[in-house]
Structure 1
Amino acid sequence: MKHNYLSDKALKVSFLIISLFVLVFIIVPLARLVLFINPKTVSVIEQSSVLEAIFNSLSLSFICGLISIGVGVPFAYLLSKNFFKRFNKFVETISDIPISIPHTVAGIALLFIYGKEGIIGSLSYKLFKFQITGTRIAITIAMLFVSLPYMVNAAKESFKSIDKELEKTAKMLGASEFNIFKDIYLPLSKSAIYSGFILVWARAISEFGAVVMLAYYPMTAPVKIYNAFNEMNLAR
């Protein structure tokens, strides 16, 4: 079969044009944001409330990442071992739903559970006079709900890729399930879990829709930006 160098060159050129378009599509809005800052924007950034909102986003998203390791990794391990048998695929699909639904809808769903009239929210208020909504706990819950699948998927795929012969050998030598998990699966999946943590943190820190439904106050950075945009008309 004769090699067509002309078609190869045309392919590379067309892909280069597409790549340049992608880069321009990403860079231009970001450059506009950084290089041409509105004086109103500067005055907003200097407010102490903005620093508090940034701190809330950074700290609570970090906590969310730690929680995702604690609950997401064990769950991912069970999924990778086909623990739920014929329902395993169904459980995997359920765990991915928070990624696919609009996050304002996710916030409303969480409100039905953790709101003052919700199942858990009402119980918390009746027993402890503690209202979950409008607290940092509510923000963390909203962040975790929309970002947890990233940890589960990262850890699950890593667990699945591990050579099963290692596990068989460990069992032949008398290793317990816990030791196999601790000494084989966790060390070999460390980089994937770190990547999952970064994905969870990045997704949580940018979350707006679910957070604003559960806790407008205390503000996170995305909520504060939205609030300032409306109050000070930063679009002009």
Structure 2
Amino acid sequence: MRFKVIFSSLGFLLVLFIAVPILRMLFSADPGTLADTAGEAEVHASIFLTLRASLWATIVALFTGVPLAWILARKDFRGKKIIEGIIDLPVIIPHTAAGIALLSVWGRHSILSRVTGLHIIGTEVAIAMAMFFVSVPFLVNAVKEGFKLIDERYEKTAVTLGATPWKAFLTVSLPMVKKSIISGSIMMWGRGISEFGAVIILAYHPMVAPVLIFERFQNFGLKYALPVTVLLIVISLAVFIAMRLFEDKKAAKNAKRREEEKNVIRSEV
């Protein structure tokens, strides 16, 4: 009993540490100012730009990060630890430094921009790129751990039975790590939404929500920054809760289907 009480108390302290500032902010926002802010076109554009750019970054990461996660989980090769370290690096370095690093490669006067003719600084592409850079480790590591939990013999058995490596991956491996992919995607998308340091280096305009909040706080103070912050938190929280509920509902549905299949097999036996 004492063990449970101690653990519950420690966990509750952590929840309070996160919840109290957020609840304080939500309840201190003036309803009239909040309603006026919610009707501003600039705020609408900023919030939806933030959600959209982070979504694009997450979609690109699914096509590149999932294959990399499979390689890192399944294969041992020289330099593997270096690659894992490189993937984790964006989590460690200051995100303003990440923005500077990206700017040195994609800036208007960089060699790459001159060779390709691409000028992405100050565009939605630059915003999505900054979000991708700082948040992709969350997706790759989540999916990698998911693949590690799956016995490799399932894939080998599928290949032995005539499936190609592609088919074994798509029909055996991928469905088994679906939950890890969803969780990693949610984490990456959420981390991208909150990104400020790298984004402000690559694209001050058009303004994502964190940059808009910063500008209003700098120019007008807390009173005008608070409503935008509250709106972003409420929208993000609603989306996250909806995603988690959908994930749990689908998992329960799949578990029920598997149980029904087992019952059918038992009845036939």
TM-score with structure 2 setting the length = 0.76
**Residues 155, 169 of structure 2: 8 Å contact kept:** no
Q: Specify the alignment match of 1:80 in structure 2.
A: 73
Amino acid in the other structure paired with 2:111: I
Amino acid in the other structure paired with 1:93: G
TM-score with structure 1 setting the length = 0.86
Question: Which residues in structure 2 correspond to 1:1-236 (within 5 Å)?
Answer: 9=2, 12-38=4-30, 43-82=36-75, 85-124=77-116, 127=117, 130-234=118-222
Offset at residue 24 of structure 1 (A): 2.7
Q: Which has the higher contact order (CA 8 A, sep 6+)?
A: 1
Quote the sequence identity (%).
41
- Give, in whole Å, the separation in 1 of the partners of 2:65 and 2:192: 15
Residue-by-residue CA offset, 1:187-219 (whole Å, 9 max, x unaligned): 111111111110111011111111111000001
Offset at residue 18 of structure 1 (A): 3.3
Offset at residue 170 of structure 1 (A): 1.8
- Give, in whole Å, the separation in 1 of the partners of 2:75 and 2:170: 19
Amino acid in the other structure paired with 1:147: S
SS at match of 2:78: helix
Gaps (5+ residues) in structure 2?
225-269
Gaps (5+ residues) in structure 1?
1-7
Alignment RMSD: 2.0
- Give, in whole Å, the separation in 2 of the partners of 1:20 and 1:157: 28
Residue-by-residue CA offset, 1:97-123 (whole Å, 9 max, x unaligned): 111111111001000011112232333
Amino acid in the other structure paired with 1:66: I
Q: Number of paired residues? A: 223
Change (3 A) 1:17 1:67: same
Offset at residue 21 of structure 1 (A): 2.9
Amino acid in the other structure paired with 1:60: A
- Give, in whole Å, the separation in 1 of the partners of 2:52 and 2:88: 25
- Give, in whole Å, the separation in 2 of the partners of 1:172 and 1:25: 53
SS at match of 1:230: helix
